[in-house]
Amino acid sequence: MEKYLITGFSGFVSRHFLEFLEERGTHASVLGLDIHAPKFDMRGFRKIKCGFESLDLMDDKRTQEVIYRFQPNFILHLASYSSVMYSWKNPAWSFQNNTNIFLNLLEIVRLLGLNARILSIGSSEEYGNVSDKELPLREEQPLRPVSPYAVARVSQEMLSRVYVDGYGMDVVMTRSFNHLGPGQNEVFVVSSFAKQVAEASKQGVTGLAMKTGDLSIVRDFTDVRDVVRAYHLLLTKGTKGEVYNVCSGSGVTLAGIVSLLSKKKGIEVSTSTDSKLVRPSDNRAIVGSNEKILNAVGWKPGLSLDRSLDDILQDWDRRLESE
C-alpha cells in the first residue's frame, strides 16, 4: 500500500489531492500534518485511509516522532504561508516559517534515513519581473524574486538542491503557477472576485462596485484538479533533482477574469483600485511553458479556464446558500 505524508493537509490543494487519489482508485494510507484541523470529512473516502496529526513543523522533535512512526513512501510538502500579500505585511515571519519548516522536514528525513520521495512545491513567483520576450517562462530562466514570499520559495528550492547533491536525497521540485478551483479561500484573487459576484447574484442586484488591486497584471491559471494530477505524476515519475513548471501555458489579465465572471452571472461590475490591495512590487506578467513536464511525465492541463470559473461560481453559490 502506498503511504503519503501531506504537510499543509488542511488546505485547498490537499483536499483535491485526496479526491484525486480516491477517484483514481488508489489504495493508499495518508497521514496529514497541519497546525489547523481539516474542515473536510476524512471518513468520506473508501479507497484511501486518512489520519491526521495536529502539529507545527517547527517542532522538529515531535515531527520526527510522527514521521518515524508513519514511514511514508511519498511526502507532498504543501505547508506554507502561501499569500504574497501576507509576506509583505509579515516578511520576517513568512520567510522564517516557509524556509525553516522545509529545512526541518529535509533534516528529519535525512536523519531517519527514509527512502521517501519529497515533492517540494515552489512558485512561479520565483521568476520575478520579466520582459515579454522572455515569455513563456522556462525552467532555465534566471530567478529574480520580488517579494519576501518569492525569496523564501527560491531558498526552499536551493535547499532542495543542496540535499539532493550533498546527501543524495530524493527531492523533486515544482514552480507552480497560479491555481484556482472550487473550495479555494477568498483571500486568493479569483476566489475573492467569484465570491463577490456570487453574492451580488444572490442578492438579486445587477450592478456591483468592486475594489481591486492592479487588474492589468497577467497570470497563468491552472485548475487545482489538474495541478494535483501533476503532483501525483511527479511524485511517481518525476526525475530526482529536477524542477518542473506546473502551468497552463496561457495568460489572462485579472481584468479579463472579472469580465468573464460578471458575464456568467449577468452582473455589471465596475472596478476601482484600492491602494491597500496593490503590492509594493509585483510581477507584470507570469506565463509559463509546460513543455518540460509534458515531455517528462506526460502531463498537460485538461480543464479550461471557462470550466474552472463555472465550478468556482457554483461552489460559492453552495457556500453562500449554507451560511
pLDDT digits (tens, 9 = 90+) for 192-239: 999 999 999 999 998 999 999 899 999 999 999 999 999 999 999 999
Q: Which fold has domain 2-180+222-249+292-297?
A: Rossmann fold (3.40.50)
As annotated, the residues of the chain forming the CATH 3.40.50.720 domain(s) are: 2-180+222-249+292-297
C-alpha torsion angle, residues 166, 227, 210, 281 (rounded to 10): 20
| Cell numbers linked to 317 | 453559490
Residues across the chain: 323
pLDDT digits (tens, 9 = 90+) for 103-148: 999 999 999 999 999 999 999 999 999 999 999 999 999 999 999 9
Dihedral angle sign, alpha carbons of residues 301, 307, 312, 315? negative
- Does the 189-218+251-286+304-322 domain belong in CATH 3.90.25.10? yes
> What pTM did the predictor assign?
0.96
Residue range(s) occupied by CATH 3.90.25.10 in the chain: 189-218+251-286+304-322
9, three cell numbers: 493537509
